Amino acid sequence: MASQFDARGRLRHLITLENVPRAQLVELLDRAESFLTPMGAYPARSDALAGRTVANLFFEPSTRTRASFELAARRLGADVLSLDVSMSSRAKGESLLDTIYTLQAMQVDVFVIRDAQSGVPAFICEHVAPHVAVLNAGESHLNHPTQGLLDVLTMRLHKGRLDDLVVTIAGDIQHSRVARSAHHALTTLGIRELRLVAPPALAPDPAEFAGAQLLDNIEAGVAGADVVMCLRIQRERMEVSRNPDPADFHREFGLTPERLALAKPDAIVMHPGPMNRDVEIAGSVADSAQSVITEQVTNGLAVRMAVMQTVLETIHG
């Protein structure tokens, strides 16, 4: 498999956070932080990607992640092409690689890929030209590295040090690439405790989440936590017959104000979106002062700027 690192160990694609060393994670977070400006001020801009072309290929529906990558590329001065590929060439039978080669012939420098199938971003890495970078914007249930980075950045901005934190992720862990990428980053950076709360039917294989505690009780999961992240039920990744009833799910696992009161008083509430109000999270919790859900969106854009600039620096020096 093509590596996401160059011969000198620098990041030239971003496919997974699993093997990204601590120093590189911290560098990406620091760079992302440097792109944050106060709300109401102009967003950070540079011409670091001027003359470069970024193509967004989202083979799964997406609004926020696609918009985030698109604005990140524009704010760095790149030309951006966002293709609704779920509707186009692959549907017409063109092979994925022919789509990639066609866009590469139009001098695309960065491919941003989202796909429901495991292994697609890494497969594309193996076939692109040496000057082209591939960024994973969501791969099946496995990886969502920029989401992992933005989640960790949000925790760091609110909590300072990470090493003493108790982080709880609750919901459909089994099908969540968000939970996996958070686990990768938090494991490398080191926190006190990672708790994963899911009903048995949506619990992951523990081997995939080494070092984390698996729980099936939301009260126990939230008690004393510094960070509580809620995840929606990924209905599109399971058979209809396995879909939990939303009202039952809310009653048994939803983050209600009463349950949130069990966490530390200054706990933050996170959600990657799209959220289903009053299913995995009560609407009032999502709108509460403890919620940092919209900040995650802001931080995501900064993270994507940092990642794009980093891989292009690796490639072009």
Binding site for ligand NCD (CB under 6 A): 64-65, 138, 144, 147, 177-178, 232, 234, 272-273
Residue with Cβ nearer ligand NCD (132 or 198): 198
Closer residue to ligand NCD (CB): 104 or 136: 136
What six digits make up the tokens of 267?
């706990």
- We find the least distance from the C-beta atom of residue 130 to ligand NCD, in angstroms, to be 29
CB of 160 to ligand NCD, least distance (A): 25
Residue 136: CB atoms within 10 A of its CB come to 30
**Cα three-residue angle 247-254-234, rounded to 5 degrees:** 75
CA atoms within 13 A on the CB side of 85: 27
- Of 304, 312, 310, 306, whose CA–CA distance to 56 is shortest? 304
First CA to last CA distance, the chain = 24
167 has which bridge partners? 194, 227
- Name the pairing type of β-strands 268-270 and 193-197: unpaired
Closest CB 290 distance from ligand NCD, rounded Å: 20
> 184 is written with which tokens?
């990768």
Minimum Å distance from CB 221 to ligand NCD? 19
Nearest approach, Cβ of 177 to ligand NCD (angstroms)?
Answer: 5
**Cβ closest to ligand NCD, residue 84 vs residue 126:** 84
Q: How far is CA 16 from CA 118, 143, 171, 178, 252, in A?
A: 12, 6, 22, 11, 32
Handedness of CA 276, 65, 6, 9 (dihedral sign): negative
CB 212 to ligand NCD: min, Å: 18
* Cβ distance to ligand NCD smaller for residue 26 or 275: 275
The torsion of the CA quartet 37, 38, 39, 40, rounded to 10 degrees, works out to: -90
Q: How far is the CB of 281 from ligand NCD (least distance, A)?
A: 12
CB of 127 to ligand NCD, least distance (A): 24
Amino acid at site 197:
V
- Cα dihedral 66, 46, 15, 299, rounded to 10, equals -60
d(CA 35, CA 32): 5
Nearer to ligand NCD, 127 or 235 (CB): 235
Q: Which is nearer to ligand NCD, 132 or 138 (CB)?
A: 138
Nearer to ligand NCD, 63 or 288 (CB): 63
Amino acid letter, 32: A
Q: Which is nearer to ligand NCD, 279 or 315 (CB)?
A: 279
